[in-house]
Amino acid sequence: MNPMQSGRQPPKSMTPTRSGYRPSAGRPTREHAERRHEQLLDCALEIFLDNGFQRSTIDYIATATGMAKRTIYARYPDKAALFEAAVQRAVDRWIIPVEVLHEVETEDLEETLVAIARIRLESYTSPAGVALQRILNAEGYRFPDLYRLAFEQGTVPALRFIADVLGRHVAAGTVQSNDPEVLAGAFLSITVGGPATGLMWGVVTDPDVLDRRIRTCVRVFLDGVRPR
């Protein structure tokens, strides 16, 4: 029965047609709007990566995303603001929750450090990690604060966790150090820095070889911090 024949008023979200009622286009839901926003940031990052900040335009980004320029400008006053938001989105996708690191901690320090190094290296070489490194390398001179943002949000929590792990072993007497935070930075440089840089430059390493390298670097690190 047609809603009008029943005497009931149609829902406000319905629009009359000859055959009855259909959902009205209306305003997008908050979830839909957020998905569209994420698509905008992802698409903008790709365009910035492909063309560089200087050559990318709001016009081109609007066309690529199928959005009106006024919709983009309603959120971001200029191209720089959109760029910074797109990079923040990349950082958010790259970050490893510190809870993931907590899950791999065991009483075996060597195995804990191997697991942490694997997680960090996988993060750096993931699509989100590669995209972030590419955009920072290309545009970091123009937006130097982005390096700080990526470091503080993505690396500092990991450094603090590693320092806490090492600090507990210092307290137990299995590691010797007056500054676990310095050790944490040295650990990441030794185990992750080299392979991550190589992979960013296109050096493809067999996973088994990479895993053996991580284990060797962890052992070298531990040989330097264990009491003598």
Q: How do residues 9-27 score in pLDDT, each as one tens digit?
A: 433 433 344 434 344 445 6
Q: 15 pairs with which residues across the strands?
A: 22
Q: Could you tell me if residue 199 is inside a domain?
A: yes
- Do 105 and 205 fall into the same domain? yes
Q: How confident is the model at residue 112, as a pLDDT? A: 97
Q: How do residues 111-121 score in pLDDT, each as one tens digit?
A: 999 999 999 99
- Do 82 and 186 fall into the same domain? no
CATH code of the domain containing 149: 1.10.357.10
Q: Could you tell me if residue 103 is inside a domain?
A: yes
- Do 81 and 102 fall into the same domain? no
- What range defines the domain where residue 177 resides? 95-225
Q: How do residues 99-155 score in pLDDT, each as one tens digit?
A: 999 999 999 999 999 999 999 998 988 888 888 988 998 999 999 999 999 999 999
Q: Are 89 and 83 in contact (CB under 8 A)?
A: no
Q: Which of 172, 128, 118 has its CA nearest to residue 153? A: 128
Q: Are 211 and 162 in contact (CB under 8 A)?
A: no
Q: Are 44 and 18 in contact (CB under 8 A)?
A: no
Q: Are 58 and 69 in contact (CB under 8 A)?
A: yes
The rounded mean pLDDT for the chain is 86
- Do 189 and 156 fall into the same domain? yes
The last residue of one of the domains, among 92, 116, 138, is 92
CA dihedral defined by 19, 21, 24, 29, rounded to 10 degrees? Answer: -130
Q: How many domains does the chain have?
A: 2
Q: Are 177 and 170 in contact (CB under 8 A)?
A: yes
- Do 77 and 125 fall into the same domain? no
